[in-house]
Amino acid sequence: MRVYGGNNYIFVMNFNNKAVELNFAKSRTDMLSGDEIAGNFTLPAYGVLVLADR
């Protein structure tokens, strides 16, 4: 986690060649796509999320 400008940023990286299932208890904004991420989420193989608490 990084903190910048009063926001927390979480970096999630999948280094596997298969998708992984994640569960987020709190809604966060993916800074790469602009999508809101919450609940169950499938991160694809080699996928990356940069999540911000806002």
pLDDT digits (tens, 9 = 90+) for 27-48: 999 999 999 999 999 999 999 9
How far apart are alpha carbons 54 and 21 in whole angstroms? 23
Parse the chain into domains and list their residue ranges.
2-52
Residue 5 has pLDDT above 90, yes or no: no
Tell me which residue has tokens 């608490």.
53
The answer to whether the beta carbons of residues 10 and 25 sit under 8 Å apart is no
The answer to whether the beta carbons of residues 44 and 50 sit under 8 Å apart is no
Global pTM?
A: 0.85
Tell me which residue has tokens 């800074």.
31
Architecture of domain 2-52 in this structure: Sandwich (2.60)
Amino acid letter, residue 7: N
Q: Both tokens of residue 38?
A: 């919450």
Q: What is the mean pLDDT of residues 9-37?
A: 96
- pLDDT number for residue 39: 97
